[in-house]
């Protein structure tokens, strides 16, 4: 790795699963990439939101991402697939409760205006 990048980027087995991070932080290269390239934050905005970062850290992270794009994109896809698999395997009790509550509320909600008469259920009192 370029010496100027090693001043800002490190990978340690016990930190963030060995993913490259900004030195002294747990902020991954992929996080900075997402904030900048997918969410549209400028480097100035990233530094203002995370004052522990310098502008050099952000630009080094972006340079690292573009130099290792395929690897980092693959890691991001793997993480997303893992999270989705865990959601399927272990559904959230809160989401289940909210879905049940939403379904019961739908029975009594006003339907969208469609131009057709709709008969609403009458609650038993």
Per-domain boundaries in the chain: 3-73
- Residues pairing with 21 in the sheet: 10, 28
Once rounded to an integer, what is the mean pLDDT over residues 42-52? 96
DSSP 8-state class, residue 14: T
Does the pLDDT of residue 117 top 80, yes or no?
A: no
Is 20 in contact with 11 (CB distance < 8 Å)? Answer: yes
Sign of CA dihedral 115, 117, 121, 125: positive
Contacts for 94 with CB less than 8 Å, ≥ 6 apart: none
- Percentage of the chain beyond pLDDT 70 is 80
Q: What is the pLDDT of residues 49-99, one digit of tens each?
A: 999 999 999 999 999 999 999 999 999 999 999 999 998 898 888 888 888
Q: How large is the greatest C-alpha to C-alpha distance in the chain, in angstroms?
A: 75
Q: What is the pLDDT of residues 24-34, one digit of tens each?
A: 999 999 999 99
pLDDT of residue 98: 87
Domain 3-73 has CATH 1.10.10.10: yes
Residue entry with tokens 């993480």 = 79
Is 20 in contact with 10 (CB distance < 8 Å)? Answer: yes
């Amino acid at each position: 790795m370029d010496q100027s990048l090693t001043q800002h980027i490190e990978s340690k087995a016990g930190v963030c699963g060995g993913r490259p991070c900004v030195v002294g932080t747990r902020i991954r290269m992929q996080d900075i990439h997402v904030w900048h390239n997918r969410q549209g934050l400028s480097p100035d905005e990233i530094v203002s939101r995370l004052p522990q970062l310098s502008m050099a850290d952000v630009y080094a992270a972006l340079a690292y991402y573009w130099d290792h794009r395929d690897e980092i994109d693959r890691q991001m896809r793997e993480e997303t697939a893992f999270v989705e698999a865990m959601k399927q395997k272990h559904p959230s009790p809160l989401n289940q409760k909210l879905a049940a509550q939403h379904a019961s509320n739908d029975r009594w909600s006003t339907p969208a205006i469609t131009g057709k008469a709709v008969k609403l259920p009458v609650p038993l009192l």
